[in-house]
């Protein structure tokens, strides 16, 4: 796998060199043939609004008055947008997408971008993000291809209800000891400290730590190869993070079924629903109202981009809850940052305004503009200094940062890990416990879950 990975990196680097050439981004933009008539570029996306695109597009139009850029929200996006992209009269020039690979249903509508040569400059982007979105052709001798560019990187972490913590005399925890002490104090005060949907809770909380055990291990090559070859015994690498999650569940610091039965929180598996639970916005079917300005969720694992939704709820409902996004403090010496690609942007190959679309892409991915976009969108910028940006924002050392490319394998490692994280997250629900036959239940021992993980990781 490492040989394959290095081959891909070399191809991507050579392709990037061909794309970027020796001139500046401004020089490359001048080489694109731009029509003189006024045009409107349309960007289709799944969000009801995007202040990030609105801000960048306004600046783009100031620089290029002949081109107006509009963002269009498409309902039921991933079902509806394919139909919109299928014809020349689609009216969509650029569109938001996840990584476009052979099984992506939006792939047939995307323009291949590496082939645009000097018309596209990605020299300021982060190599790992570009590498991850590079098309994995079944033929290794085929030229590198890419159909979408990541807008930035997503960071998993934890939202902390500072208002609730302050009411209990608790400071924002910065390491495992402080987190466990805070959870115990909150539990004694009648709270379930950690909350979230069990389908995502474990991976949002623990996956950055799990990735760090690989990417920043003392002998990375050996560890990577052992896991990639599915060698017997590799489950032991993940015993500490799994043990911590098990302890949180065992001590009742996380009890999703109790929360679900008591107040209905986190019964839905959606980001907007999670944000409402955290901000204590209750109701259903669009009829919502603010509860008190304290809330009952002290810690909620989530992604940094969820800030877009949380901050809007805070403003719309005039919430007095003060909060902070931090790296989940699950390590003995703090949290871990794991950088995975955020959504990407692609050019509709049926667009009548390809030249302008590429011009806009170049503008968006110059480092200074992408940093502005990322700040507005609450993601890490897709810039060569992305790691430095993370270190500065979260005051974290480089040995606590990893990226997707350093833990990607030729089997579904993430799914194997996530299955066990989800099992442990549900371990104190009687439905998944040992029935003692007397009306009481017992959790399965940690060894039970570690054996399940080992079997998943090592099965062929």
Three-state DSSP at 398 gives helix
Question: Dihedral, CA atoms, 131, 135, 139, 140, nearest 10 degrees?
Answer: -10
Q: Where are the domains of the chain?
A: 2-147+343-378, 158-338+407-458
- CATH pick for 158-338+407-458 out of 3.40.50.2300, 3.40.190.10, 3.40.720.10, 3.40.50.300: 3.40.190.10
CATH superfamily of 2-147+343-378: Periplasmic binding protein-like II (3.40.190.10)
Do residues 373 and 362 lie in contact, with contact meaning Cβ atoms separated by under 8 Å?
no
pLDDT on residue 19? 43
What value does the mean pLDDT take over residues 155-175? 98
- Decide which of 12 and 204 is more confident: 204
Q: Is the pLDDT at 135 greater than 70, yes or no?
A: yes
**C-alpha span between 154 and 343 (Å, rounded):** 9
pLDDT on residue 136? 87
Q: What is the pLDDT of residues 185-222, one digit of tens each?
A: 999 999 999 999 999 999 999 999 999 999 999 999 99
What value does the mean pLDDT take over residues 107-117? 94
Q: Is the pLDDT at 421 greater than 50, yes or no?
A: yes
- Identical fold, 2-147+343-378 and 158-338+407-458: yes
pTM: 0.88
**C-alpha span between 417 and 424 (Å, rounded):** 11
């Amino acid at each position: 796998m490492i040989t394959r990975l290095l081959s891909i990196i070399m191809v991507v680097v050579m392709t990037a060199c061909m794309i970027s050439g020796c001139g500046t981004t401004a020089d490359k933009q001048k080489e694109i043939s731009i029509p003189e008539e006024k045009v409107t570029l349309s960007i289709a996306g799944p969000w009801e609004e995007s202040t990030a695109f609105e801000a960048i597009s306004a600046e783009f139009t100031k620089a290029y008055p002949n081109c107006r850029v509009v963002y269009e929200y498409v309902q039921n996006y991933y079902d509806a947008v394919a139909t919109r992209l299928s014809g020349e009269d689609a009216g969509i020039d650029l569109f938001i997408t996840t990584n476009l690979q052979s099984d992506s249903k939006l792939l047939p509508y995307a323009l291949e971008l590496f082939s645009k040569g000097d018309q596209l400059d990605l020299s300021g982007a982060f190599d790992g993000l570009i590498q991850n979105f590079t098309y994995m052709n079944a033929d290794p001798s085929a030229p590198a291809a890419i159909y979408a560019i990541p807008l930035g990187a997503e960071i998993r972490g934890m939202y902390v209800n500072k208002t609730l913590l302050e009411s209990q005399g608790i400071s924002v925890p910065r390491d495992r000891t402080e987190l466990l002490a805070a959870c115990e104090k909150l539990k004694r005060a009648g709270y379930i400290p950690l909350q979230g949907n069990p389908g995502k809770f474990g991976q949002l909380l623990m996956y950055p730590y799990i990735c760090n055990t690989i990417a920043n291990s003392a002998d990375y090559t050996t560890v990577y190869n052992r896991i990639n070859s599915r060698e017997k015994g590799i489950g032991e690498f993940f015993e500490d993070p799994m043990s911590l999650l098990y302890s949180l569940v065992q001590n009742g610091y996380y009890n999703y079924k109790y929360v679900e039965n008591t107040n209905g929180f986190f019964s839905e598996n959606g980001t907007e629903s999670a944000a409402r639970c955290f901000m204590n916005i209750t109701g259903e079917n669009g009829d919502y109202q603010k509860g008190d300005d304290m809330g009952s969720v002290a810690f909620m694992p989530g992604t940094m981009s969820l800030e877009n939704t949380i901050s809007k709820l805070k403003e719309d409902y005039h919430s007095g809850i003060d909060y902070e996004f931090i790296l989940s403090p699950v390590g003995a010496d703090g949290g871990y940052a794991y950088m995975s690609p955020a959504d990407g942007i692609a050019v509709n190959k049926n667009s009548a305004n390809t030249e302008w679309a590429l011009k806009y892409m170049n503008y968006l991915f110059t480092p200074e503009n992408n940093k502005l976009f990322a700040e507005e969108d609450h993601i890490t910028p897709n810039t060569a200094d992305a790691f430095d940006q993370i270190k500065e924002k979260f005051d974290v050392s480089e040995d606590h940062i990893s990226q997707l490319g350093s833990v990607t394998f030729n089997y579904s490692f993430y799914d194997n890990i996530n299955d066990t994280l989800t099992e442990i997250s549900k371990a104190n629900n009687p439905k998944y416990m040992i029935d003692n036959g007397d009306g009481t239940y017992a959790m399965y021992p940690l060894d039970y879950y570690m054996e399940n993980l080992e079997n998943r990781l090592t099965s062929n």
